[in-house]
Amino acid sequence: MPNSTRNILPTKPTRTVFIISDGTGITAETFAHSVLAQFDGIALRQMRLPFVDCVDKAHDSVRMINEAGQRDGFRPIVFSTLVDPAVNQVVRQANAMYLDLFQTFVEPLELEFGVKSTHTIGRFHNISDSEQYKNRIESINFTLAHDDGQTDRGLEEADIILVGVSRCGKTPTSLYLAMQFALKTANYPLIPDDFERGKLPDALYLHKQKIFGLSITPERLSEIRNERRAGSKYASLENCRYEINEAEAMMRREGIRWLSSTSKSIEEIATTILQELKINC
Amino acid sequence: MPNSTRNILPTKPTRTVFIISDGTGITAETFAHSVLAQFDGIALRQMRLPFVDCVDKAHDSVRMINEAGQRDGFRPIVFSTLVDPAVNQVVRQANAMYLDLFQTFVEPLELEFGVKSTHTIGRFHNISDSEQYKNRIESINFTLAHDDGQTDRGLEEADIILVGVSRCGKTPTSLYLAMQFALKTANYPLIPDDFERGKLPDALYLHKQKIFGLSITPERLSEIRNERRAGSKYASLENCRYEINEAEAMMRREGIRWLSSTSKSIEEIATTILQELKINC
C-alpha cells in the first residue's frame, strides 16, 4: 500500500488494559483476556502489574495508568485483584474504568457465609512449603523422567499414561497435567514396531486402566513432522496415514479411550482426559 | 480421641462450590480458589463442570447442583463463565448462589466500548492452528531440549537462560515460562567444576544479557536433595552450603541478577524473572 493512502486512513484508537494484583496477577490476566476476547475490533494493549503490595507501589501504578490514559485519549480498563483495602483505595483513584475482580465476589460471599473475609494478601506466598506444592514438583519430575517411554520403572505410581504416535501432543499434555493438576503423567509413543507386533508395548498391559490415547489427523501430523524433518518418509502424508490408522485400530482393539488433539488446546485435551478417566482435580 | 467425644462434636457443614464453564473452566477454578481462600474455617468441596455448551448439559448441571444442595443442607456456590445466554439462563434456575464471572464484567465493558460483545463460545477452540499456539508448543520443545545444559546449540534462540545449582527449581520454572508465556527457556546447572574453574560454563558468555540466576537456602536445598539421595555427600548441608556460596559469589562477580526460590511458587519466580528482565508478556 502506498504511503499516501495510509495517511488518510483513520488510526484505530488503542486502549490500555491493566491487570493489577498483589500477587502474580497471572490468573487475573488469563481471565481478563478471555472476557476481552468477546469484543471484536477493539484494539487493546494489555499490561500486568504484579506484586503491588504497598501504598507506594499503588501510587506508582496510578501514575502509569493515568499516563496511559493521556497517551491513548481513552481511560484505561483496570482489572484488579488487590486484597489490601488501603492499596485498593489508592489505585481506585486512577482515572480508569475499575473492575474489582476480588471485592465484587468477596462481599456477597461474606453475606452468604456469615463471616468476614480475612483480607490476607498472598495466601499462597508460603505455598512452596506445603504438601500440595511438593506433590506438584514431584509430579513434574516424574513426568519428565517418564517422557517418551524413557523408562518402565515406577509406572505403577503414574496417575495417567498417555499413548499415541510420535508428535501427536503427548509431551505438552503430560507436562500440563503435572504442572496444573499435580498428576504424575507418563507417556509412551506407539511406533511402527508396535504396529508390526500388533500389540501395545509390554510394560503397559499391567496399567491399562490408566492409559489414555491421543490421535490427530494425518494431514496435521504430517505438517507438524515436516517442520522438524522436512521431506522425510517419517513426515510424509502416506506414512502419517499408515501410523494413525494402525494406532487407532490398536486402541480400538485394546479398548483404550482416546481423543483427537487436532483442533484442541492443551487445556482442552487435559480437561477431556480428566473427564473421561473420571479424575476429579 | 475416644469415639464417644467424637460423637458429641458438631459435624462441620461442608458446602459445595461448582465452577461451570462452556470451556475448560480452568481459569475460573483458579480464580474461585483464590477468592475462597479468603475465608477461613469454611469447609468447601470444589467441583468443575467443563464444556457445558448446550441446554441439555445445562439441565444436567442444574440437577447436580440441586442434589449437592440437598445433601449439604446449604445452597451451593456457583462460579459461572457461561457465555451462551440460553445455557446461562437454564443454569441460573438452580437453587444456588450464582456468581456470574462473565456477565458481571461484560455488561459494563459493553457500555464502556460502545459495542455489543460477540457472545461467542470457546473463542479459543481453534487456537491450535494459530501462530501463538505454535509458538507455545515450539517453546515447550525448545525448553525440554535445553533442560539441564543438555546442549549449547541454538542458545541464540533462547529468550531466557536460567542458571543455578542442581535442584534449586530451574526445570519447573523453565517449563512454566514456556507453557504459560511461550518463552524459550534454556537452563544450565552450576556445578563444582564451574566453581573450581571460577567461571561460568563457556557457552553462556555470549548470552549474558539473557541469563537469570536462581538460588535457595542451603537448608531447603539439602532437604530437597535428601529426598532424592538420602545421606549422600551431594545432599549434605555442608556441601549445599559450599555450592550455594560459590554459586552466589559467581553470580555477583559476573553481574547476573538472581532471586531466591526458597519460599516462592513457580508462578512467583516466573513473574519476578519477567519483571527483572523487563519482558512484557
Alpha-carbon distances, residue A22 vs A247, B37, B57, B105 (angstroms)? 48, 15, 37, 21
Q: At which residue does the C-alpha cell 489508592 appear?
A: A90
When divided into structural domains, chain A yields a total of 2
The answer to the question of residue A124 being in a domain is no
Mean pLDDT of A143-157: 95
Range of the domain at B259: 129-276
Section A45-63 average pLDDT? 97
For residues B151 and B251, membership in a common domain is answered with yes
The tens digit of pLDDT for each residue in B29-55 reads: 999 998 998 898 889 999 999 999 999
Out of A42, A115, A128, name the one closest to residue B115 (CB): A42
Tell me the count of A-B CB pairs closer than 8 A.
Answer: 179
Q: Are residues A78 and A148 in the same domain?
A: no
Select from B50, B80, B113 the last residue of a domain: B113
Q: Do residues B133 and B107 both lie within one domain?
A: no
Who has greater pLDDT, A123 or A67? A67
- Report whether pLDDT(B125) > 50: no
- pLDDT score recorded for residue A128: 53
What is the pLDDT of chain A when averaged over all its residues?
A: 91
- Same domain for A99 and A183: no
The model's pLDDT over A190-200, given as tens digits with 9 standing for 90+, comes to 999 999 999 99
The per-residue pLDDT for range B68-114, each reduced to its tens digit, is 999 999 999 999 999 999 999 999 999 999 999 999 999 999 999 99
Confidence grade of residue A131 (pLDDT, cut at 50, 70, 90) = confident
Please report the pLDDT score of residue B5 as a whole number: 40
Pairwise CB contact (< 8 Å): A140 & B172: yes
Compute the nearest-CA separation of B186 from chain A (Å).
15
Residue B6 lies in a domain: no
A76 and A163 belong to one structural domain: no
Higher-confidence position of B121 and A226: A226
CB contact under 8 A, A40 and B118: yes
A106 with B265: Cβ contact below 8 A: no
Question: What pLDDT is attached to residue B147?
Answer: 96
CATH number at residue B60: 3.40.50
Say if B215 falls within a structural domain: yes
Residue B4 has pLDDT above 50, yes or no: no
Evaluate whether residue A215 is within a structural domain: yes
Query: What pLDDT does residue B12 have?
Result: 64
**Quick one: closest CA in A to B50, which residue?**
A271
Query: Is position B149 annotated in a ligand binding site?
Result: no
List chain A residues with CB under 8 Å of B37: 120, 123-124
Chosen domain end from B83, B113, B143: B113
In chain B, the residue whose alpha carbon lies closest to the alpha carbon of A36 is B106
Decide: helix, strand or coil at residue A24.
coil
Is residue A2 a part of any domain in this protein?
A: no
Contact A69, A16 (CB under 8 A): yes
C-alpha cell at B59: 439441565
Q: Indicate which of A103, A265, A275, A280 best probes the interface with B, i.e. most B CBs within 10 Å of its own CB.
A: A265
In a domain, A249, yes or no: yes
Asked whether residue B49 falls in the same domain as residue B160, the answer is: no
Nearest by CB to residue B123, choosing from A37, A124, A144, is A37
Q: How far apart are CA B247 and CA B149, in angstroms?
A: 16
pLDDT digits (tens, 9 = 90+) for A171-208: 999 999 999 999 999 999 999 999 999 999 999 999 99
**pLDDT for the residue numbered B72:** 95
CA distance A89 to chain B (A): 19
One domain for residues B165 and B103? no
Residues B232 and B150 in one domain: yes
In order of A222, B198, B203, B256, the CA distances from B253 in angstroms are 49, 10, 17, 8
Whether residues A19 and A143 share a domain: the answer is no
What percent of chain B stands above pLDDT 90? 83
A209 within some domain: yes
> CB-CB: which of B83, B113, B126 is closest to A263?
B126
Looking at residue B228, its pLDDT comes to 87
The A211-215 sheet, strands edge to edge: A185-189, A160-164, A211-215, A258-260
Domain assignment present for residue A206? The answer is: yes
- Whether residues A172 and B179 touch (CB distance < 8 A) is answered with yes
**Same domain, residue pair A272 and A139:** yes
Q: Is the dihedral of CA B195, B199, B200, B201 positive or negative?
A: negative
Residues B229 and B180 in one domain: yes
Measured between beta carbons, which residues in chain B are less than 8 angstroms from residue A85?
none
Which residue of chain A has the CA closest to B269? A24
Q: pLDDT at position A111, please? A: 94
What confidence score (pLDDT) does residue B41 get? 84
- For residue A96, pLDDT beyond 80: yes
Query: Last residue of some domain: A113, A140, A173?
Result: A113
Across the beta sheet with B211-215, the strand order is B185-189, B160-164, B211-215, B258-260
Question: Is B73 in the same domain as B184?
Answer: no
Identify the residue with better confidence: B63 or A7: B63
Residue ranges with strand state E in chain A: 14-20, 43-49, 77-80, 97-100, 160-164, 185-189, 211-215, 258-260
- Judge whether B240 is annotated as a binding position: no
pLDDT digits (tens, 9 = 90+) for A5-26: 444 445 567 999 999 999 999 9
| Amino acid (1-letter code) at residue B156 | E
A chain contacts of residue B42, beta-carbon cutoff 8 Å: 113, 115
